Chains A and B, each alone.
Chain A
Amino acid sequence: MSFPLLTVTALVPAVGAVATAAMPAARRSAAKWLALSVSLVTLGLAAAVLVRFDPGGARYQLTESRPWIAEFGVRYELGVDGIGAVLVALTALLVPFILLAGWHDADEEAGGDKPGRRWRPTQGFFALILAVEAMVVISFLATDVFLFYIFFEAMLIPMYFLIGGFGDRAHEHGEEEASRQRSYAAVKFLLYNLAGGLIMLAAVIGLYAVTADQLGEGTFSLQAITEARASGELEMATNTERLLFLGFFFAFAVKAPLFPLHTWLPNAMGEATAPVAVLITAVVDKVGTFAMLRYCLGLFPEASEWATPVVLVLALISIIYGALVAVGQRDMKRLIAYASISHFGFIILGVFAMTSQGHSGATLYMVNHGISTAALMLVAGFLITRRGSRLIADYGGVQKVAPVLAGAFLVGGLATLSLPGLAPFISEFLVLVGTFSRYPVVGVIAAATIVLAALYVLVLYQRTMTGPVKEGVKGMPDLRVRELAVVTPLIALLIFLGVFPKPLTDIVNPAVEHTLSDVEKHDPAPDVEAAK
Chain B
Amino acid sequence: MESLIGLLVGAPLLGAAVLLCGGRRLDRTGHWLGTLLAAASFVVGLLLFADMLGKDTEQRAMHQHLFSWIPVADFQADVGFQLDQLSMTFVLLISGVGTLIHVYSIGYMEHDERRRRFFGYLNLFLAAMLLLVLADNYLLLYVGWEGVGLASYLLIGFWQHKPSAATAAKKAFLVNRVGDVGLSIAIMLMFTTFGTFAFEPVLESTGETSEGKLTAIGLMLLLAACGKSAQVPLQSWLGDAMEGPTPVSALIHAATMVTAGVYLITRSGEIFNAAPDAQLVVVTVGAVTLLFGAIVGCAKDDIKKALAGSTMSQIGYMMLAAGLGPIGYAFAIMHLVTHGFFKAGLFLGAGSVMHGMNDEVDMRKYGGLRKHMPVTFVTFGLGYLAIIGFPGLSGFFSKDQIIEAAFAKGGTQGWILGTCALLGAAITAYYMTRVMLLTFFGEKRWDPAETHPHESPRTMTIPMIVLAFGSVFAGGYFKLNENFVHWLEPVTEFEHGHPPMSAATVTAATVVALLIGVTGAWFQYGRRPVPVVAPRGSLLTRAARRDLLQDDLNHVVLVKGGEHLTRGLVYLDHKLVDGVVNGTAASFGGLSGRVRRVQNGFVRSYAVSMFGGAAVLVAATLLMRAV
Contact = CB atoms under 8 A, between A and B. Distances in A.
A454 interface: yes
Nearest to B23: A404
Main secondary structure of the interface of A (DSSP, over half): helix
A462 B167 contact: yes
Given A397-B161, A467-B161, A525-B195, A451 B181 contact: yes
A430 B75 contact: yes
B603 A526 contact: no
Nearest to B142: A420
Contacts of A263: 573, 577-578, 581-582
A512 B75 CA distance: 14
Nearest to A444: B185
B534 to A, nearest CB: 29
Contacts of B70: 426, 429-430, 501-502, 505
B145 A447 contact: no
Interface in B575-627: 577-578, 580-582, 585, 589, 591, 594-595, 598-599, 603, 606-607, 610-611, 614, 621, 624-625
A523 B244 CA distance: 47
B57 to A, nearest CB: 30
B467 interface: no
Contacts of A436: 185, 188, 191-192
A310 B569 CA distance: 22
> Which size bracket describes the interface of B in this complex?
35 or more
Nearest to A498: B143
Interface string A255-299: 000011111000000000000000000000000000000000000
Contact of A69 (B71, B180, B192, B621): B621
Interface stretch (B171-179, B350-358, B369-377): B171-179
B74 interface: yes
A270 to B, nearest CB: 12
Contacts of B196: 526
Interface stretch (B359-367, B542-550, B560-568): B560-568
Contacts of B591: 191, 195
A527 B193 contact: yes
Nearest to B627: A71
Nearest to B73: A356
B75 A433 contact: yes
B72 A356 contact: yes
Contacts of B570: 325, 328-329
A180 B191 contact: no
B589 A195 contact: yes
A160 interface: yes
Contacts of B569: 321, 324-325, 328
B12 interface: no
A191 B596 CA distance: 12
Interface stretch (B37-45, B205-213, B381-389, B477-485): B205-213
Nearest to A359: B72
A433 B174 contact: no
A191 B595 contact: yes
A22 interface: no
A161 B476 CA distance: 77
A309 B209 CA distance: 29
Interface residues of A, number: 81
A499 B17 CA distance: 15
B169 to A, nearest CB: 8
A375 to B, nearest CB: 16
A328 B570 CA distance: 6
B170 interface: yes
A327 B558 CA distance: 13
Given A458-B173, A528-B195, A531-B208, A260 B581 contact: yes
B166 interface: yes
B146 interface: yes
A502 B160 contact: no
B177 A505 contact: no
Interface in A473-532: 499-502, 505-506, 509, 512, 523-529, 531
B494 interface: no
Nearest to B163: A467
B177 A361 contact: no
B161 A71 contact: no
B185 A421 contact: no
A69 B624 contact: yes
B577 A260 contact: yes
Nearest to B568: A328
Interface stretch (A181-189, A214-222, A387-395): A181-189
B150 interface: yes
Interface in B173-229: 173-174, 177-178, 180-181, 184-185, 187-188, 191-196, 205, 208-209, 213
Contacts of B69: 499-502
B192 A526 contact: yes
Contacts of A262: 577
Contacts of A161: 607
Contact of A502 (B20, B67, B146, B580): B67
Given A190-B610, A437-B192, A468-B161, A430 B72 contact: yes
Q: Which of B157, B573, B582 has most chain A Cβ within 10 Å?
A: B573
B587 to A, nearest CB: 12
Contacts of B29: none
Nearest to B571: A328
Nearest to B117: A403
Contacts of B499: none
A448 interface: yes
Contacts of A524: 192
Interface string A142-182: 00000000000000010011001000000000000000100
B323 interface: no
Nearest to A69: B625
B170 A420 contact: no
Given A420-B145, A502-B67, A195 B585 contact: yes
A429 B139 contact: yes
Interface string A394-424: 0001011000000100000010000111000
A527 B184 contact: no
B618 to A, nearest CB: 10
B502 interface: no
B68 interface: yes
Contacts of B142: 420
A71 B625 contact: yes
Nearest to B624: A71
Contacts of A160: 607, 610
Contacts of A209: none
A255 B607 CA distance: 20
B614 to A, nearest CB: 7
Given A356-B74, A454-B174, A523-B73, A448 B181 contact: yes
Contact of A157 (B585, B614, B625): B614
A356 B150 contact: no
A425 to B, nearest CB: 8
A164 to B, nearest CB: 7
B622 to A, nearest CB: 9
B72 A466 contact: no
Contacts of B566: 324-325, 327-328
Of all A-B residue pairs in the complex, the 4 with the closest CB atoms, nearest first, are: A526-B195, A328-B566, A356-B73, A466-B166
Interface of A: 69, 71-72, 157, 160-161, 164, 180, 183-184, 186-188, 190-191, 194-195, 259-263, 321, 324-325, 327-329, 356-357, 360-361, 397, 399-400, 407, 414, 419-421, 425-426, 429-430, 432-433, 436-437, 440, 443-444, 447-448, 450-451, 454-455, 458-459, 462, 465-469, 499-502, 505-506, 509, 512, 523-529, 531
11 contacts: A184-B599, A191-B591, A259-B577, A328-B570, A356-B75, A421-B143, A421-B146, A436-B191, A500-B67, A509-B72, A528-B194
Interface of B: 20, 67-75, 79, 139, 142-143, 145-147, 150, 157, 160-163, 165-167, 170, 173-174, 177-178, 180-181, 184-185, 187-188, 191-196, 205, 208-209, 213, 562-563, 565-567, 569-570, 573, 577-578, 580-582, 585, 589, 591, 594-595, 598-599, 603, 606-607, 610-611, 614, 621, 624-625
